[in-house]
Structure 1
Amino acid sequence: MTEFDAKGRAAQSNRAGRFETLQRDGIDDGWGRDTPPVLRTHVRLERPRSVISYNRSPDLPFDRAINPYRGCEHGCVYCFARPSHAYLGLSPGLDFESRLIARPDAPQILERELAVKSYKVATLALGTNTDPYQALEKTHGITRRILQVLQACQHPVAIVTKGALIERDIDILKDMATRDLVRVGISVTTMDPKLSRLMEPRAPSPARRLQIIERLANEGIPVRIMVSPMVPALSDYDLEAILQAGRDAGAAHASWIMLRLPREVSELFQEWLGTHYPDRASRILARLREMHGGALYDAAWGKRMRGEGPYAEMVAKRFAIAVRRLGLKTQGAALRTDLFRAPVLPGAQMSLL
């Protein structure tokens, strides 16, 4: 008997993270329970001392980010952020999509960090690790309050999401867009709703994400269609169709990233393949090994996002040809930083100028 019913979840197991010494397994205790209990979502609160995280990765177009939540109920099986749950003593498997953490004080802490005299403004990325518009946001509203802080001090922000709840914040985004302070990336992995439901069980459907692009674009908010991640021999055939649909919906820019399988994600993805696509598993994994020198993943900068070799080069060429044909751009103009005004905290002396 399994420990619980994980219907509607992507991960097939709840293996302990790499820092744990014990592995937990469900067993039949002999009491004759016919069906296991349904896996419910649990949320706890975290009150961090700081919320802006910095990076020096040459692979990323930003050096700072903020994440309102830890874990993500969208439950994408391929999510590269899953291993971060291990730092919390939780499983990167089912725990990642069912045991979530909200950071309700994030807007106030962000305001304090932006008010520091030594702060140097640059585009802040929102939603780089977990989706800022997952279902949890509807209850907690942390993302909206973060945007209100950024709007008030005219700070540039780049958002990445699959969540339809972003439409709720069009009033803020539209205002910021008039001053070149915001851009939004909507990721679409496949045009196949069945495949999407298996890989991303609680994320909006591909068709719904295209509606999000159209709604934002119609309001003058710059949108990028992100073909991310490309799964070799499973969703790669959809590359051109996704770009076409994104352009038709109003996206002006496009990007792509190859499937990444860091740490625990590798085993989780292989389990998922064995359950849903056992006939394609060997071919998919072989393609990944071709791109990473025989391994399923190479974390080296310059390689981890795209891979190397003939297959990776072919995908890159297909993308380049498609964006040129569709008139999409891959590089956008930099967001404005000259409008930034540091927030004035309660009790602080205001400037006379």
Structure 2
Amino acid sequence: MTVPENRIAPDRRRGRGTASCDAGRFERLNRVLETDGWEIDPELPPLRTHVSDERPRSAISYVSSPDLPFDRTLNPYRGCEHGCVYCFARPSHAWLGLSPGLDFETRLIARPQMPEVLARELRARGYTPRTLAIGTNTDPYQPIERDRGIMRACLEVLRDFNHPVAIVTKGTLVERDIDILAHMAAQGLARVGVSVTTLDPKLSRRMEPRAPSPARRLQTIRALSGAGIPVRLMASPLVPALTDPELEAILAAGADAGADAASWIMLRLPHEVSALWRDWLAEHYPDRAERIMGHLRAMHGGKDYDSRWHHRMRGEGPYAQVIAHRFAVAARRLGLDRTTAPLRADLFRPPPRAGDQLSLF
């Protein structure tokens, strides 16, 4: 296989989603791989994951997108070691002066003070509780959470405040926190969405190299559902002419594992993700790259991506309509088309602190 110019060789990036170390769109300069003619150390070491810490100024990020079902979110980590090549969050690393390519999955930022900052914000006078979404940017249950435990500490805060939370993840480490989530779910305070993009383990390993296998994610759905935690199967993102033929099978597998609802989103290619995705297609699926990109462009007015509200998630046109119809038919047949009950916000109560005056009632 020929490695494109300015791309990291396969042996160095084994287990990584992209080959690119290109700088983000805000940088004036780019990094270019050049040989100086010296062959002193041709066997360079593989890329390692580096984690640095950041003290967050705030914990809750507020969003106003009209096509999202939540208005606030929380991210314990920046970057994600799962390395999903299609991840729409990759461009967020450009704000840090880092590459949305390999830096996004190898140069991670942990926020260990997030639980304390979250508790402070929840105690703020005038705070109005609504469902807090976690995992909408980077996965809170990516591998480094096993050692850092920031997500679990945040969940403990939310449990103590009786605050509603909705989690999105591919990480099976969520099973570690079933004790907290089951307690909250019993009160109508928690639900989890598990993303299953394909049932093909080889395709999954190429697209999402450090994420758990599809079969393992289905086991996670079964474990969560068995503990009484509502679970949504998320067939996201669907890739036209690559993973969308599996749509009905993915939904059936999720229903069999105990999911009580389902959703889907079309592949999104904002900013730097478009070039990363096209590079990946050229490397792994050159025979169908034009077909895949042709369908995507047809759904976005001839562009790789259209970020308009109420359009960016699904696209438009015949192909998008067919997928939407297929999803609706399969979800209805499998009982996954039900409307989930909103999480409760009326139970929210800041727990007493040492020295607080306790209520008599």
TM-score w.r.t. length of structure 2: 0.95
Deviations 1:201-247 (A, max 9, x none): 00000000000000111111110000000001110001000000000
Distance 1:309 1:281, change over 3 A: same
**Which amino acid is 1:7 matched to?**
R
What is the CA distance between 1:296 and its match in structure 2?
0.8
- Unpaired segments of 5 or more residues in structure 2? 1-5
What is the CA distance between 1:33 and its match in structure 2?
2.2
**Which amino acid is 1:6 matched to?**
R
What is the CA distance between 1:77 and its match in structure 2?
0.3
Mean alpha-carbon deviation: is it higher for 1-10 or for 324-333? 1-10
Alignment of 1:39-118 (within 5 A): 39-118=47-126
2:159 alignment partner in structure 1: 151
**Which amino acid is 1:252 matched to?**
D
Quote the Cα distance in structure 2 between the aligned partners of 1:44 and 1:352: 46
What is the CA distance between 1:2 and its match in structure 2?
6.2
**Which amino acid is 1:323 matched to?**
A
1:184 paired with 2:187, answer no
1:17 alignment partner in structure 2: 24
**Which amino acid is 1:290 matched to?**
A
2:130 alignment partner in structure 1: 122
Q: Is the 8 A contact 2:8 2:20 kept in 1?
A: no
**Which amino acid is 1:27 matched to?**
E
1:331 alignment partner in structure 2: 339
Quote the Cα distance in structure 1 between the aligned partners of 2:16 and 2:106: 9
- Which one of 206, 209, 213 corresponds to residue 201 of structure 1? 209
Mean alpha-carbon deviation: is it higher for 1-10 or for 151-160? 1-10
Quote the Cα distance in structure 2 between the aligned partners of 1:75 and 1:40: 13
Q: Is the 8 A contact 2:8 2:19 kept in 1?
A: no
1:295 alignment partner in structure 2: 303
Quote the Cα distance in structure 1 between the aligned partners of 2:235 and 2:308: 21
1:257 paired with 2:284, answer no
Quote the Cα distance in structure 2 between the aligned partners of 1:307 and 1:344: 48
Quote the Cα distance in structure 2 between the aligned partners of 1:165 and 1:277: 31
TM-score w.r.t. length of structure 1: 0.97
**Which amino acid is 1:334 matched to?**
P
What is the CA distance between 1:329 and its match in structure 2?
2.6
**Which amino acid is 1:261 matched to?**
L
2:3 alignment partner in structure 1: none
Quote the Cα distance in structure 2 between the aligned partners of 1:296 and 1:280: 16
1:236 alignment partner in structure 2: 244
Q: Is the 8 A contact 2:77 2:110 kept in 1?
A: yes
1:160 alignment partner in structure 2: 168
Quote the Cα distance in structure 2 between the aligned partners of 1:38 and 1:340: 48
**Which amino acid is 1:9 matched to?**
R
Quote the Cα distance in structure 1 between the aligned partners of 2:231 and 2:343: 13
Q: Is the 8 A contact 1:115 1:345 kept in 2?
A: no
Deviations 1:280-312 (A, max 9, x none): 100000000100001010000000000000000
* CA RMSD in angstroms, aligned pairs only: 1.3
What is the CA distance between 1:348 and its match in structure 2?
5.5
1:316 alignment partner in structure 2: 324
- SS of 1:131's partner is coil
Quote the Cα distance in structure 2 between the aligned partners of 1:104 and 1:344: 23
Q: Is the 8 A contact 2:67 2:309 kept in 1?
A: yes
Deviations 1:76-110 (A, max 9, x none): 00000000000001000000000000000000000
1:342 paired with 2:350, answer yes
- SS of 1:229's partner is strand
1:31 paired with 2:39, answer yes
- SS of 1:9's partner is coil
Quote the Cα distance in structure 2 between the aligned partners of 1:39 and 1:269: 20
